[in-house]
Amino acid sequence: MSEERVLALRRQLNQYNYEYHVLDHPTVSDAEYDRLMRELITLEEQHPELFDPNSPTQRVGGQVLDEFNKITHKRPMLSLGDVFSREELFEFARKAEAEVGPVDYCCECKIDGLAMSLNYQHGRFQYAVTRGDGVVGEDVTHNVRTIKSIPMEIDYEGELEVRGEVYMPKASFQRLNEKRREMGEEEFANPRNAAAGSIRQLDSKIAASRGLDALWYHVPQGPQLGHHQHLESLAFIQTLGFRTNPLNRLCHSIEEVWQFVEDLTLMRSDLPYEIDGIVIKVNDYAKQQQLGFTAKTPKWAIAYKFPAEQAVTRLENIFVTV
């Protein structure tokens, strides 16, 4: 019966997407993947009554909006406070530990993209919304659907929100700007602007062509899911098929946190994505609860920003040739 075949093909192609885009470990050839995709496209054309926006056939884009709708966040989406020096970072830790005692910290790359909130219900992707003003964001579901490392179906029935960063990998950025140079179009200044410009396209075919990716780093409902630490929630969403950053590191002291900052400062230019700092979070949810929030930012997390890269001063500008 073709409905069963359609559902089986969708599950199979979703699994292949996961293996290719999340595990980076495909188990089938591109030819086999394309053959199954063509079979599904044909069957869906013959059975419009089986249309499903989450079908793997919809990830290549095709929807063109005339404007962006607004969505009110179920939970306010805040931003991070910044610190710019080792001293300020140690002061952040001193204040936190004065209030809640010794803490473990989770250290993460601060991906330089745009913050994104995904919503799932009954195990299915419902919508994606930008941070906006923290209360109301833009509905960018049609474009986020084209990011193939984002699962459209998860093995969790309740309402689930997952937050992270949509970004443009450095390789995609180079390719995009090369193409724009050839077309005589203005180039994007940096991958962050390119990602934001791509997500704000009304035509999802354009977004689909930009080679965007995403990493997920916050589960607002973590405590309600029975998790006791932030890293426990990240392990949970990883089992659901979300990409999390393998570089995330649990640190038992602010000195270890600083070691992570130094390690990543050295690794930064070799990463496949741009980072503008390091995010440090108190790992234990009970201690996060005790620390709470300011009006705009959590008191249990901070962003350490890398110093702006000094333009290299050319030596001959310093030594006047006599």
Measured in degrees and rounded to the nearest 5, phi and psi for residue 246 equal -65, -15
d(CA 83, CA 223): 27
Question: Among residues 78 and 136, whose Cβ is nearest to ligand 3B8?
Answer: 78
Contact positions with ligand 3B8 (CB under 6 A) in 175-214:
none
Per the residue annotation, which of 110, 281, 287, 299 is the catalytic one? Answer: 110
Site string for ligand 3B8, 244-283 (x = CB under 6 A): -----------------------------------x----
> Segment near ligand 3B8 (CB under 6 A), from 24-32, 67-75, 104-112, 169-177?
104-112
d(CA 125, CA 116): 14
CB of 265 to ligand 3B8, least distance (A): 16
By DSSP bridging, strand 301-305 and strand 82-83 are parallel
111 binds ligand 3B8 (CB under 6 A): yes
Q: Using an 8 Å Cβ cutoff, are 56 and 120 in contact?
A: no
Cα dist. 124→118, 157, 279 in Å? 11, 8, 29
By DSSP bridging, strand 160-167 and strand 114-121 are antiparallel
CB of 293 to ligand 3B8, least distance (A): 8
298 binds ligand 3B8 (CB under 6 A): yes
110 is catalytic: yes
Question: Among residues 188 and 304, whose Cβ is nearest to ligand 3B8?
Answer: 304
Contact positions with ligand 3B8 (CB under 6 A) in 51-70:
none
Figure out which of the listed residues 10, 59, 73, 110 binds ligand 3B8, where binding follows CB under 6 A. Answer: 110
User: What angle, 0 to 180 degrees and rounded to 10, lies between the N-to-C axes of helices 170-182 and 191-199?
Assistant: 80
Residues 6 or more apart in contact with residue 114 via CB below 8 angstroms = 130, 131, 165, 166, 167, 192, 195, 196, 199
219 binds ligand 3B8 (CB under 6 A): no
Interface with ligand 3B8 (CB under 6 A):
78-80, 108, 110-111, 115, 165, 217-218, 279, 298, 301
Catalytic residues: 110
